[in-house]
Amino acid sequence: MVPEAPFRSYYGQPVVKQPIWHEPHMPTYLYLGGLSGAAGAMAAAARLAGHDRLGLAARAAAFTAASAGTVFLVAELGRPERFLNMLRVFKLTSPMSVGSWTLAAHSGLTGVAAGSAVTGLLTPVGDAASVASGLSGLAMATYTAVLLADTAVPSWHEGMRELPFLFSGSALASAGAALMLTTPRAQAGPARAAAVAGAVTEVVAGELMERRLGLLGEPYRTGRAGRLMRASRALTLGGGLLATVAGRSRTLTALSGLAITAGALCTRFGVLEAGRVSAKDPRYTVVPQRDRLDASRPGR
């Protein structure tokens, strides 16, 4: 019998449409949205635990990141009214719709919480808004992973199990790094712990995803995406290790925070690039389909 020919191309054309998101707009929005969500959750926890100075920094970070993220999202969309049009309907079955409403609600809540903390006015209202933004922050930190996984892009869709952990870990590490840099070092212990926990979660989730995906993990390991993901792991691990020994050292704290921040940005840019590569090459669409078909045949 003639052996089955290996798949090389689909008439030289992609099978699925490549993502048209732009750089640096979309990956920066993904980073800022995650940071804001995790910072909002940390602000609520800090308030409940009595860490008032850390809570103030967390509220400010959550609002600043949400506001900047909205600017980058609007820049990605091209015109402000396009974002407003996304709020005309609410569909639970659409990650884009749910995400748009989550961003709008979270931005408003973080604004109220930060404004109350800075001015000292309407403290009960500010505290309630902080708790609510902590809940919306949990969605903000993870919904972007669902947004990517709910597409036909092979390396994103098949990474649906690990992407939420990768993004939430990165978000927690990013928020911890930001609060390490903006909170007095004597009161930044919880921020350092969050940065370390987030860094470990991000690195482990990324490694597990690349190994499980097999062929579809290749775009995360090769080319520009591979370089970005390797840089992300090195920076995130290095920053996490520094956070464990930084203590009250100004220099080590700064190096740790900057390394984790750079690592989180590399993760977003790397994931976006890997998705583009997997969509462009029809091999990443057709070969897994053939493998699933062969596995489903009787006697296989």
**CATH superfamily of the domain spanning 24-283:** Formate dehydrogenase/DMSO reductase domain (1.20.1630.10)
Q: What value does the mean pLDDT take over residues 265-293?
A: 90
Angle at which helix 250-280 crosses helix 223-246, to 10 degrees, equals 160
Q: Which amino acid is at 297?
A: R
Over 90: is that where the pLDDT of 91 sits? no
Q: What is the pLDDT of residue 149?
A: 93
User: How many Cβ atoms sit within 10 Å of the Cβ of residue 292?
Assistant: 9
Least confident of 64-68, 102-106, 218-222, 283-287: 283-287
Q: Where does the pLDDT of residue 88 fall: very low under 50, low under 70, confident under 90, or very high at 90 and above?
A: confident
- Which residues, in sequence order, are CB contacts of 243 under 8 Å at separation 6+? 176, 177, 180, 192, 195, 196, 199, 253, 256, 260
Q: What is the mean pLDDT of the chain?
A: 90
pLDDT tens digit sequence for 7-24: 556 666 778 888 888 889
Q: What is the pLDDT of residue 9?
A: 60
Does 194 score more than 90 pLDDT?
A: yes
Decide if pLDDT at 1 tops 60. Answer: no
> Model confidence over 206-265: pLDDT tens digits?
999 999 999 999 999 999 999 999 999 999 999 999 999 988 788 999 999 999 999 999
Q: At what angle do helices 250-280 and 283-296 cross, to 10 degrees?
A: 70
pLDDT of 2 > 70? The answer is no
Domain boundaries, the chain: 24-283
Helix axes 189-213, 250-280, angle to 10 degrees: 20
User: 101 to each of 12, 70, 72, 291, how far by Cα in Å?
Assistant: 40, 12, 16, 39
Q: What is the mean pLDDT of residues 276-295?
A: 85
**pLDDT score, position 3:** 62
Cα–Cα distances in Å, from 175 out to 35, 87, 188, 190, 278? 5, 27, 12, 11, 30
Residues 101, 136: Cα–Cα separation, whole Å = 10
What pLDDT shows up at residue 83? 79
Instruction: Name which residue leads in pLDDT, 93 or 50.
Output: 50
Q: How far is CA 119 from CA 113, 134, 179, 203, in A?
A: 10, 20, 20, 39
pLDDT digit string, tens, across residues 129-177: 999 999 999 999 998 999 999 999 999 999 999 999 999 999 999 999 9
pLDDT confidence of residue 97: 83
pLDDT at residue 6, as a whole number: 61
